[in-house]
């Protein structure tokens, strides 16, 4: 309905009264050092059928210029969304510049004695190229500073995906550009985007809201920044890896102490201390918000205890020598005393979440109970940068519980509970049937009991998916929860749920394996990704072995299919190579083309790009038994397995 109900307006008034005092410092810091920008930070697609369309733009967010929050947006989130409107090239300190607001993340440029270092590469080539062009326009119009070093802070796509907008693979191969990354970067950069990539991509729609319209009753922000650019990421492998917990290197006259921070915000992450410039970059481990311990898109649960300890180390070893702290989202913090305070507060926030969750867990409380009971101490609750605009205290508590004790809350009734649809049908039946439920729900909706209405209507729609009145009531409850949410990711999730209750699940499309990252995927990970697509039901009784010879990478892989499982092992690691049913000789790139549906197996054979020996029928069996994943599977409706 796109209207805030009275209960939501009352909720917003209470929120407004409880917010920290506004001293304007964040707004001042977000603008400090501004040099220049382009209108709306707008980046247009330059080629292809969609040329001229915006890949990235702040233009749709012009409504946020109003200081007065819209009644359909939590006033705390409105403030964060307005702060994230700032965009352009900013001077951080001598030699260090950031382009902010041209992507969900920042890119940091460090001027060396002879050339340029870049810290991170944004999400896609177009936004990265625009950011570099903005830097060149204001700092290096004659292009006298070649970009000779690129450093990846961590293994998330919004920090490496734009690499091809900064440097070329040819220049990296020729040694003209060094690419530096933390230990484990390549595996983690592609692993979560390949093995479970389809599920994560669909869930990310609910986290970031990029399939929602932008507006006061729809998407307004993502907490860390505005949204995701509408383009695909790329990846260039590092030429140098930081492997020790602390390593110091001097690059083009700039001394950098690298601190590894694995299993913090990302499984592969590192911080950067510039002692000569009295600057510290904390990657994504400090932000002007509470981050996720497990994002809504899904990921391995992050170690909040380790995270707090990395911040504690930075506080005690670096902060006294730092004039400015920056990160790869949001704006910097200036002044040694301010840096110390900011670091200590961020450290304490993650430590409290960890310790107090575990304390309550050891008293026997279950995840939902801890999430409802735990409150931040007053010293943290009154801080803007400890508020849950991206993560939330509620779902971070549940992540800590999951990390230690798994999904199981120890109540045996939940050990073998009914799946959602049969449970929903029995629940609605016990409540007197769908029509009786709707009568009660309308009463509770008028009372503003949106959480309960959403819970009941979840069951109602599972049990009666075609019942339009039920779907509309479910949408209304979700919408009001979205309007109340302080977390941008919660707001996006609730509002996209409302949209799909009203309009249904979007039309499915086939999600090809690996997308644009596929060339960077190791062969081991590639075969692991194919194994999770093997349909053991459709492949019942199928048993055979294959030998894959990749002519370009000179790798040889044995694949064995038996008992519904696909196992792979590098053949040159075997004591003896067994006889197989079929042997395939091809370039790895040909297999990639087949998996991305640019080439059929039959055409590859006919053209000589794939040479077979043995039982050729096995090739058809292999590919036809692999599932094709739909990129828009149902979320608020029941999912159905393909035959």
Per residue in 339-362, pLDDT tens?
Answer: 999 999 999 999 999 999 999 999
Burial environment of residue 44 by CB neighbours within 10 A (0 to 12, 13 to 18, 19 or more): middle
Q: What are the pLDDT digits (tens) for 600-638?
A: 999 999 999 999 999 999 999 999 999 999 889 999 999
CATH 3.60.15.30 domain span(s) along the chain: 19-283+325-331
Do 221 and 207 touch, CB atoms closer than 8 A? no
- Check: CATH 3.30.565.10 for 418-503? no
For residues 329 and 30, what is the distance between their CA atoms, to the nearest angstrom?
A: 11
- Position 368 confidence tier, pLDDT thresholds 50, 70, 90: very high
- Of residues 50 and 261, more confidence is placed in 261
Q: Which CATH number is associated with domain 510-629?
A: 3.30.1050.10
Q: Residues spanned by CATH 1.25.40.880 within the chain?
A: 418-503
Q: What is the arithmetic mean of pLDDT over 121-128?
A: 97
CATH of domain 19-283+325-331: 3.60.15.30
147 contacts 181 by C-beta, under 8 angstroms: no
Strand-pair category, 246-251 with 240-242: unpaired
Average pLDDT, the chain: 96
In whole angstroms, give the CA distance from residue 154 to residue 133. Answer: 23
Query: In the chain, what's the furthest Cα-to-Cα distance?
Result: 76
Measure Cα distances from 361 to 306, 353, 460 in Å: 19, 12, 32
Question: CA torsion sign, 443 to 446 to 447 to 452?
Answer: positive
Q: Which two tokens stand for residue 126?
A: 């177009």
Identify the sign of the CA torsion 87, 92, 98, 104: negative
- DSSP per-residue letters across 80-103: HHHHTT--EEEEEETTEEEEESSS
Q: Are 384 and 20 in contact (CB under 8 A)?
A: yes
For 22-26, what is the mean pLDDT? Answer: 96
Q: Would you state the structure tokens that stand for residue 102, as one six-digit string? A: 């041209």
Q: How confident is the model at residue 256 (pLDDT cuts 50, 70, 90)?
A: very high
Six token digits for residue 494: 């609730």
What pLDDT is attached to residue 513? 82
Q: Say yes or no to pLDDT of 229 above 80.
A: yes
575, 579, 585, 588 alpha-carbon torsion, rounded to 10°: -50
Q: Tell me which H or E stretch contains 510.
A: strand 510-511
Please say whether the dihedral angle defined by the alpha carbons of residues 409, 413, 418 and 424, taken in this order, is positive or negative.
Answer: negative
Tokens at 261, concatenated:
């921070």
φ, ψ (nearest 5 deg) of residue 311: -70, -35
Residue with tokens 């510290």: 280
CB 171 within 8 A of CB 163: no
Enumerate helices (H) and strands (E) in the chain, giving the number of each: 21, 23
Q: Is residue 151 classed as helix, strand or coil in its secondary structure? A: strand
Of 62, 100, 64, nearest to 82 by C-alpha is 64
Separation CA 10–CA 558 (nearest Å): 64
Which residue has tokens 């079929």? 582
Q: Do the Cβ atoms of 497 and 214 come closer than 8 Å? A: no
DSSP structure class, residue 48: S
State yes or no: pLDDT of 117 exceeds 80.
yes
Taking only the tens place, the pLDDT of each residue in 470-510 is: 999 999 999 999 999 999 999 999 999 999 999 999 988 87
Q: What is the pLDDT of residue 1?
A: 67
CATH 3.30.1050.10 placement within the chain: 510-629
By CB atoms closer than 10 A (0-12, 13-18, 19+), residue 142 is exposed
pLDDT of residue 359: 98
Query: Average pLDDT, stretch 286-304?
Result: 96
Computed on alpha carbons and rounded to an integer, the radius of gyration of the chain in Å comes to 26
Confidence at 403, pLDDT banded by 50, 70, 90: very high
Task: Please report which confidence band the pLDDT of residue 520 belongs to, taking 50, 70 and 90 as the band edges.
Answer: confident
Closest CA to 454 of 441, 440, 463, 436: 441
Q: CA 73, CA 96: separation in Å to the nearest integer?
A: 35
User: What is d(CA 88, CA 59) in angstroms, rounded to the nearest whole number?
Assistant: 14
What are the residue ranges of helices labelled H in 532-600? 588-595
Identify the pLDDT of residue 72.
98
On whether the CB atoms of residues 66 and 75 are closer than 8 A, the answer is no
Confidence of residue 62 (pLDDT cuts 50, 70, 90): very high
pLDDT of residue 287: 98
Mean pLDDT of 122-150: 97
Report the pLDDT averaged over residues 111-123. Answer: 98
Mean pLDDT of 124-140: 97
The 3-class SS string of 300-348 reads: CCCCHHHHHHHHHHHHHHCHHHCCEEECCCCCCEECHHHHHHHHHHHHH
């Amino acid at each position: 309905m796109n209207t805030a109900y009275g209960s939501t307006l009352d909720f917003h008034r209470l929120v407004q009264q409880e917010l920290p005092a506004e001293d304007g410092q964040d707004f001042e810091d977000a603008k400090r050092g501004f040099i220049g920008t382009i209108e709306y930070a707008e980046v247009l697609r330059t080629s292809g059928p969609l040329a001229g369309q915006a890949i990235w733009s702040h233009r749709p967010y012009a409504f946020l210029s109003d200081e007065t929050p819209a009644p359909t947006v939590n006033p705390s989130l409105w403030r964060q969304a307005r702060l994230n409107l700032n965009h352009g090239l900013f001077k951080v300190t001598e030699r260090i510049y950031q382009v902010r607001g041209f992507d969900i993340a920042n890119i940091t440029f460090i001027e060396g004695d002879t050339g340029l270092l870049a810290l991170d590469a944004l999400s896609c080539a177009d936004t990265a190229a625009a950011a570099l062009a903005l830097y060149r326009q204001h700092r290096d119009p004659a292009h006298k500073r070649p970009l000779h070093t690129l450093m990846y802070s961590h293994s998330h796509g919004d920090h490496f995906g734009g690499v091809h907008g900064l440097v070329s693979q040819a220049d990296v191969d020729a040694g003209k550009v060094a690419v530096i990354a933390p230990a484990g970067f390549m595996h983690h950069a592609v692993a979560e985007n390949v093995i479970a990539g389809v599920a994560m991509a669909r869930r990310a729609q609910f986290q970031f809201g990029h399939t929602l319209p932008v507006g006061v009753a729809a998407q307004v922000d993502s907490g860390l920044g505005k949204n995701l650019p509408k383009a695909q990421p790329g990846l260039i492998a590092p030429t140098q890896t930081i492997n020790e917990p602390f390593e110091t290197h001097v690059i083009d006259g700039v001394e950098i102490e690298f601190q590894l921070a694995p299993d913090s915000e990302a499984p592969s992450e590192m911080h950067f201390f510039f002692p000569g410039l009295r600057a510290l970059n904390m990657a994504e481990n400090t932000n002007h918000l509470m981050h996720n311990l497990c994002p809504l898109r899904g990921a391995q649960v992050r170690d909040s205890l380790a995270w707090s300890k990395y911040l504690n180390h930075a506080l005690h070893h670096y902060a006294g020598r730092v004039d400015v702290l920056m990160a790869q989202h949001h704006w910097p913090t200036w002044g040694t005393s301010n840096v110390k305070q900011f670091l200590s507060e961020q450290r304490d926030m993650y430590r409290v979440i960890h310790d107090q969750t575990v304390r309550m867990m050891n008293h026997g409380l279950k995840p939902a109970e801890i999430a409802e009971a735990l409150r931040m101490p007053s010293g943290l609750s009154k801080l803007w940068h400890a508020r849950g605009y991206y993560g939330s205290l509620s779902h971070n508590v549940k992540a800590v519980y999951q990390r230690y004790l798994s999904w199981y809350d120890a109540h045996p009734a939940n050990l073998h509970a009914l799946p959602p649809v049969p449970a929903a049908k029995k629940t609605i039946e016990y409540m007197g049937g769908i029509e009786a439920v709707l009568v009660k729900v309308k009463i509770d909706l008028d009372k503003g009991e949106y959480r309960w209405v959403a819970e009941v209507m979840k069951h109602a729609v599972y049990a009666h998916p075609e019942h339009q009145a039920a779907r509309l009531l479910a949408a209304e409850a979700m919408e009001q929860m979205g309007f109340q949410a302080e977390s941008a990711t919660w707001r996006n999730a609730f509002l996209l749920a409302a949209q799909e209750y009203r309009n249904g699940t979007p039309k499915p499309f086939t999600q090809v394996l690996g997308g644009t990252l596929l060339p960077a995927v190791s062969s081991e990970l590639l075969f692991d990704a194919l194994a999770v697509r093997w349909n053991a039901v459709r492949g019942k009784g199928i048993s055979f072995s294959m030998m894959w010879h990749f002519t370009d990478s000179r790798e040889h892989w044995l694949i064995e299919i038996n008992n519904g499982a696909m196992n792979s092992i590098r053949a040159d690691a075997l004591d003896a190579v067994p006889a197989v049913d079929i042997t395939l000789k091809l370039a790895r790139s040909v297999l990639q083309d087949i998996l991305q549906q640019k080439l059929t197996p039959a055409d590859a054979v006919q053209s000589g790009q794939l040479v077979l020996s043995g039982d050729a029928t096995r090739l058809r069996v292999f590919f036809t038994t692999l599932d094709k994943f739909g990129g828009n599977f149902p979320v608020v409706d029941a999912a159905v397995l393909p035959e």
